[in-house]
Structure 1
Amino acid sequence: MYNRILIATDGTELSDKAVRAGIELAALSGASVVALKVVSHYPRSYMEGTDLQDIKEAKRIEEQWTEQAQVLLGGIKNLGQEHKVSVTPEVVHSDLVAESIVETAKKRDCDLIVMASHGRKGLQRLLLGSETQHVLTHSHIPVLVLR
């Protein structure tokens, strides 16, 4: 059915449900998994929505976010081992989350993307956008969205 599944996570409770479902699907189909966490860059100007930060402090914060991502992906790797699924963790640094998901799936030769939808509606969706919607409209491989 599937050979390699990319599971995108942001560490939220809803995303954790998608991770579990993706691992279970990989176990059923004998697929391997690429577990992806996209880490955004720390804003460095008023225009990006924060106070000006010392470059060293911004770098320290980004390193902390990267470490947290690695811990999160380590947990997914352990879950994969419990289900006898090979999991390759991958951290990507980018402010373009959806583009990073699609590009990583293509680069890693994945044949399915699994991710969560946060179910935003109305004005909130318009203002915040939807990474899931962007992946759905720009991916050339199937996307399984879980709620």
Structure 2
Amino acid sequence: MLERILVPTDGSPRSDRAVKAAAILAKASNGSLTIFTAPPDYQMPPFTDGYPIDWPAETIFLKETAAATTKLLAHARKIAAALKVDAKVAQARSDSASDAIVAAAKRERATMIVMASHGRKGLEKLLLGSETQKVLARTKLPVLVIR
């Protein structure tokens, strides 16, 4: 069951804890680990008459998110390496992190997903939703939620 573990990360401290837990599981089960992230697609904001919007050009946005993604994945890989786990990294641009995570799990033939929950409650959870909840609803794979 723990042959191929996928762990999504957004670079937050909670995600770092999920990467650590996934690396520990991968090492204990002699499985493989894939660290995944989903940087957002470029989108132009809606324009409002009379209000100038300072928005980066697509090339600048793509360059900056690529650099941030490389740094984020390198950091997560260091966490796994500190536990002597060689992790593969993957990414896919998407405006829906949960869809990207489920698609990556299929593509990587993952047997388990380990991910962080940010612990939102009440109105914040209702308005923002939970990527973890969305993943749980969209996959049949076991999902270990780290808080």
TM-score, normalising length: structure 1: 0.89
- Find the residue that maps to 1:34 and give its secondary structure: strand
Where in structure 2 are there 5+ consecutive unaligned residues?
A: none
Verify: 1:11 aligned to 2:11, yes or no: yes
Structure 1 runs (4+) deviating above 6 angstroms are: none
Distance in 2 (alpha carbons) for counterparts of 1:140 and 1:46? 37
1:91 partner amino acid: Q
Post-superposition offset of 1:51: 3.1
1:77 partner amino acid: R
Distance in 1 (alpha carbons) for counterparts of 2:94 and 2:144? 22
What is residue 76 of structure 2 aligned with on the other side? Answer: 76
- Post-superposition Cα deviations, 1:101-143, rounded to whole Å, max 9, x if no partner, equal 0010011100010110011111111111111000011111110
Question: Which runs of structure 2 are paired with 1:65-104 in the superposition (5 Å)?
Answer: 65-104=65-104
2:96 partner amino acid: L
Verify: 1:117 aligned to 2:117, yes or no: yes
- Post-superposition Cα deviations, 1:24-72, rounded to whole Å, max 9, x if no partner, equal 111111111110011012331227xx93636xx2331232112111122
Post-superposition offset of 1:3: 0.8
- For 2:55, which of 53, 56, 61 is the aligned residue? 53
Distance in 1 (alpha carbons) for counterparts of 2:144 and 2:14? 14
Identity across aligned pairs (percent)? 37
Where in structure 1 are there 5+ consecutive unaligned residues?
A: none
Distance in 1 (alpha carbons) for counterparts of 2:63 and 2:93? 11
Distance in 1 (alpha carbons) for counterparts of 2:39 and 2:58? 13
Greater Cα offset, 2-11 or 60-69: 60-69
Structure with greater proportional helix content: 1
TM-score, normalising length: structure 2: 0.89
- The structure that has the greater radius of gyration is 2
1:97 partner amino acid: A
